[in-house]
Amino acid sequence: MDKIQLKHCPILKEAVIPLEASKSESNRAIIINALSGNQSEVYNLSNARDTQTMLRLIDSKDETLDVLDAGTTMRFLTAYTAVSNQTKTLTGTERMQERPIKILGKALKQLGSKVKYLNNSGYPPLSVSPIEEQKTGGLEIKGDVSSQYISALLMIAPSLPKGLILNIKGKIGSRPYIQMTLDMMKLFGIHHNWTNNRIEIKAQKYRDYPYVVESDWSGASYWYSFVALADQAKIKLLGLRQKSLQGDIAIVRIMNQLGVMSTFEDDGVVLQKIPHSKEAEFDFSDCPDLAQTVAVVCGIKHIDCRMTGLESLRIKETDRIKALKRELKKFKIKLKETEEGVWEIKSKYEVGHPEVEVETYEDHRMAMAFAPISTHQKITILNPEVVNKSYPSFWEHVSLATDR
């Protein structure tokens, strides 16, 4: 299917959405369980392509591991290989081979792994050999590039003979994702000390723990967007917890300003419309995956929005800032950098805007962030299968609440 057409549907049907499980939790649970010798039961793993790719590769005996377009899988498996007993070559799609991994590769080299880049220095494909003798127990790593580098190193730290002291330089981006990693490791028996920008994990053993993966708050964000933009809506999302390990639970606070109230129940959360603010300001340093969703909502609702913390968006599945600018422009919405690191949304969107085809740039979040515009007009999403990366049942779920 090369495109999907969404009808104009201003009033949503009252629906119960059985969200996919969290890809972020699933991928961490798979790595942690493998490091513990696969002695635990992990329940409710995500059906997302990234997670299924991780499952397929984690115990693979193949010399080459093809992660496709799964960035988390690439980074976590690169570090995991360094404490395994096999040399592996890790590769992926053309876009994956454009996404840097030099910072993680350098850290693994300092620990004692042999890391070789097979095409371009600092980028996949790369060959990784196990650490035979740990050269250092301390590393410095930049905090504002990708939290996945940090999480990858933290998860292998207990398996290192000297443990690991990680000194994070500068501002820490996506801090909740690092905290999620540490909280999950704690459930599996691993103790840590995090003081200021210093994280210490001593050599120790993972224990078994029956882990149940929560539903995905990133996936929930698109339903918040649908409710915010619809004229009338009441949606229940199953499997979400009010006390969550996931940083993207920030969408509850953000969308409270943008017109959505959250009511938690035993089995999930109910979303309903409330009045919205005329202006808003958000820092996405801790939750960059929510930025596209929020930008679309603010543009369509004519909410003047000031956004910071978008730096990491340039090295995602696509350059998300460039992609957002191009696609928002089709709706007479501007995303403009008014000063370094500060982006503002200004909108001239009008009722009766003609039907638009939205490019997705091989990025699942572009497809899902723009889909809720169907509450205001007809819209066509190109290459809709990109949602399989994180939320394969998305279009099926959309049909539960709309006339698609």
Q: Are 174 and 285 in contact (CB under 8 A)?
A: yes
Closest-CA residue to 241 (of 207, 218, 208, 215) = 215
Contacts 24+ apart (CB under 8 A), 54-62: 54/26, 54/27, 54/30, 55/30, 58/30, 58/31, 58/34, 59/34, 61/86
Three-class SS state of 330:
coil
Q: Are 174 and 205 in contact (CB under 8 A)?
A: no
CA dist., res. 354 & res. 377, Å (int):
8
Whether 289 is a known active-site residue: answer yes
Burial of 308 (0-12, 13-18, 19+ CB in 10 A): middle
Q: Tokens 């109910």 sit at which residue?
A: 270
Three-class SS state of 51:
helix
Three-class SS state of 360:
coil
Rounded (5°) CA angle 212-216-219: 160
Find the helix packing angle between 49-58 and 23-35, rounded to 10°. Answer: 10
Three-class SS state of 119:
coil
Among candidate residues 66, 248, 289, 363, the one labeled active-site is 289
Cis previous bond, 125, omega within 30 = yes
- Residues listed for the chain: 404
Three-class SS state of 13:
coil
> In sequence order, which residues have a C-beta less than 8 Å from that of residue 187 and are 6 or more positions away?
209, 211
Q: CA dist 71 to 49, 79, 204, 277, Å?
A: 11, 13, 28, 35
Q: Are 208 and 38 in contact (CB under 8 A)?
A: no
Q: What's the alpha-carbon Rg for the chain, to the nearest Å?
A: 21
Q: Which residues are marked as active site?
A: 289
